[in-house]
Amino acid sequence: MTLRHMTLAAALLGATALGAQAQDLRIGLESDPDVLDPDQSRTFVGRIVYTALCDKLVDVTPDLKIVPQLATEWSFSDDNTSITMKLREGVTFHDGTPFDAEAVARNIDRSLTLEESRRKSELASVAGTEVLGDHEIRIDLKEPDATVLAQLADRAGMMVSPDAAEAAGADFGANPVCSGPFKFKERVAQDRIVLEKFDDYWNADEIALDSVTYLPITDTTVRLANLQSGDIDIANRVAATDLKQLEGSDSIDIEQAVSLGYQGITFNVGNGDKGDNPWGNDARLRRALSLAIGRDIINQVVFDGNFRPGNQPFPDTSPWYDADYPLPERDVEAARALLEEAGYGDGVALEVQVPNRPENLQLMQVIQSMASEAGIDVSLTSKEFATMLNDQTAGDFTASQVGWSGRIDPDGNIHQFVTTGAGLNDAGYSNEEVDRLLNEARTLADEGERKALYDQARAILQEEAPIVYLYHDTWITGLDKSVEGFVPYPDGMIRLEGVTLNAD
Amino acid sequence: MLSFILRRILIAIPTILLISVFVFSLQKLLPGDPVLAMAGEERDPEVIAFLREKYRLNDPIPVQYAHWVGNAVRGDLGMSLRTNQPVLELIGEKLPVTIQLATMAMIFAMGIGIPAGILSAVRKGTVTDYVANVVALSGLSIPNFWLGIMLILLVSVKWQLLPASGYVPFADDPWRSVQVMLMPAFVLGTALAATLMRHTRSAMLTVLTSDYVRTARAKGLSERRVILKHAFRNALTPIVTLSALLFGELIAGAVLTEQIFTIPGFGKLVVDAVFNRDYAVVQGIVLVTAVGFIVMNLLADVAYVLLNPRLRSQT
Shared-domain flag, residues B56 and B189: no
Contacts of residue A197, defined as CB under 8 A and 6 or more positions apart, other chains included, come to A181, A182, A183, A204, A207, A209, A210, A211
In-domain check, residue B286: no
Give residue A312's pLDDT band: very low, low, confident or very high (50, 70, 90): very high
CATH number for the segment(s) A2-52+180-259+474-501: 3.40.190.10
Measured CA to CA, the distance from residue A59 to residue A66 in angstroms comes to 6
Q: What is the average per-residue pLDDT within A251-276? A: 96
Cα–Cα distance measured from residue A230 to residue A129, given in angstroms and rounded to the nearest whole number = 48
Nearest to A189 among B31, B39, B93 (CB): B93
pLDDT of residue B314: 54
| Least Cα separation, residue A250 to chain B (angstroms) | 14
pLDDT at A1: 42
Q: How many residues does chain A have?
A: 504
Amino acid A445: pLDDT: 86
In chain B, which residues have their Cβ closer than 8 Å to the Cβ of A2? none
Give the closest residue to A256 by CA, choosing from A487, A502, A2. Answer: A487
CB pairs under 8 A between A and B: 158
pLDDT in tens, A359-413: 899 999 999 999 999 999 999 999 988 789 889 999 999 999 999 989 999 999 9
* Range with the poorest average pLDDT among A51-55, A286-290, A364-368, B59-63: B59-63
The nearest CA of chain B is from the CA of A86 a distance in Å of 30
Domain count across chain B: 2
Mean pLDDT over residues A219-238, rounded?
94
- Please tell me whether residues B18 and B118 are part of one structural domain: no
Per-domain residue ranges for chain A?
2-52+180-259+474-501, 58-164, 262-472
Among A24, A42, A227, A260, the residue to mutate for chain B (most B Cβ within 10 A): A42
According to CATH, the topology of domain A262-472 is Dipeptide-binding Protein; domain 3 (3.10.105)
Characterize A148-183 residue by residue with b for buried, 16 or more Cβ atoms within 10 angstroms of its Cβ, and e for exposed. Answer: bbbbbbbbbbbbbbbebbeebebebbeebbbbbbbb
Answer yes or no: do B140 and B228 share one domain.
Answer: yes
Does residue B87 fall inside a structural domain? no
Report the pLDDT averaged over residues A453-480.
96
Burial (CB count within 10 angstroms: exposed 0-12, middle 13-18, buried 19+), residue B154: middle
Average pLDDT, chain A: 92
Q: Quick one: B105 and B175 in the same domain?
A: yes
User: What pLDDT, on the 0 to 100 scale, is given for residue B28?
Assistant: 80
Q: Which of B47, B141, B256 best tests the A interface by mutation, with the highest count of A CBs <10 A? A: B47
Predicted model pTM: 0.88
Answer yes or no: do B112 and B242 share one domain: yes
**pLDDT at residue A19, rounded to an integer:** 38
The residue range of the domain holding B15 is 2-73
- H helices present in B173-232, as ranges: 174-208, 211-218, 223-225
User: What sign does the dihedral B196-B197-B203-B204 (CA atoms) show?
Assistant: positive
Instruction: Name the architecture of domain A58-164.
Output: Alpha-Beta Complex (3.90)
Q: Count of residues for chain B? A: 315
Q: Provide the pLDDT for residue A15.
A: 39
Q: What pLDDT score was predicted for residue B254? A: 87
Residues B196 and B125 reside in one and the same domain? yes
Cβ–Cβ gap A118/B275 under 8 Å: no
Residues B176 and B239 in one domain: yes
Question: What b/e sequence results for A351-377 when a residue is b if at least 16 CB atoms lie within 10 Å of its CB, and e otherwise?
Answer: ebbbbeeebbbbbbebbbebbeebbbe
pLDDT digits (tens, 9 = 90+) for A95-119: 999 999 999 999 999 999 998 898 9
Task: Compute φ and ψ for A291, nearest 5 degrees.
Answer: -70, -30
Q: What is the DSSP letter of B263?
A: -
B290-297 LR contacts (CB < 8 Å, sep 24+): B290/B15, B290/B16, B290/B19, B290/B20, B291/B12, B291/B16, B292/B247, B292/B251, B293/B247, B293/B248, B293/B251, B294/B12, B294/B15, B294/B16, B296/B244, B296/B247, B297/B244, B297/B245
pLDDT-derived band at A209, boundaries 50, 70, 90: very high
pLDDT at residue A12 above 70?
A: no
Q: What is the CATH number of the domain that holds B101?
A: 1.10.3720.10
pLDDT at residue number A386 = 79
* DSSP alpha helix (H) spans, A54-136: 101-113
Nearest Cα residue to B303 out of B241, B227, B250: B241
Q: Stretch B139-161: mean pLDDT, rounded?
A: 89
Mean per-residue pLDDT for B298-309? 77
Strand pairing category for A136-141 and A82-87? antiparallel
Q: Which of A122, A222, A405 sits opposite B165 (nearest CB)?
A: A222
Q: Is A183 helix (H, G, I), strand (E, B) or coil?
A: strand
**Predicted local confidence at residue A4, as pLDDT:** 47
Interchain pair B262, A7: CB under 8 A:
no
Which pLDDT band holds residue B312 (cuts at 50, 70, 90)?
low
A218 → chain B, closest CA residue? B262
**Whether pLDDT at A13 is above 50:** no
- A345-368 mean pLDDT: 95
Q: Which of A119-133, A425-439, B213-227 has the lowest mean pLDDT?
A: B213-227
pLDDT for the residue A190: 87
Mean pLDDT of the region A24-48: 93
In a domain, B100, yes or no: yes
- Residue environment code for B269-303, b if the CB has 16+ CB neighbours within 10 A, otherwise e: bbbbbbebbbbbbbbbbbbbbbebbbebbbebbbb
Distance, CA of A219 to CA of B102 (rounded, Å): 22
B112 and B241 belong to one structural domain: yes
- Would you put residue A84 in left (φ > 0), alpha (ψ -120 to 50) or beta? beta
Does residue B27 surpass a pLDDT of 70? yes
B69 inside domain: yes
Strands A234-235 and A252-258, by their bridges, are: unpaired
Asked whether residue B54 falls in the same domain as residue B100, the answer is no
Residue-level pLDDT at A6: 46
Rounded to the nearest angstrom, the gap between the alpha carbon of residue B19 and the centroid of all alpha carbons in its chain is: 17
CB B222 within 8 A of CB B148: no
Asked if residue B293 belongs to a domain, the reply is no
Q: Check residue B242 and give its pLDDT.
A: 82
What is the C-alpha separation between A29 and B262, in angstroms, rounded? 11
Distance, in Å, from the CA atom of A422 to the CA atom of A429, rounded to the nearest integer, reads 9
**What is the rounded CA–CA span in Å between residue A250 and residue A156?**
41
Asked if B37 and B118 sit in the same domain, the reply is no
User: pLDDT tens digit string along B56-96?
Assistant: 888 888 898 998 888 888 888 888 887 778 999 999 989 89
Report chain A residues whose CB lies below 8 A from the CB of B43.
393, 423-424
Residues of A in contact with B143 (CB under 8 A): none
Tens of pLDDT along B171-212? 889 999 999 999 999 999 988 898 899 899 999 999 988 888
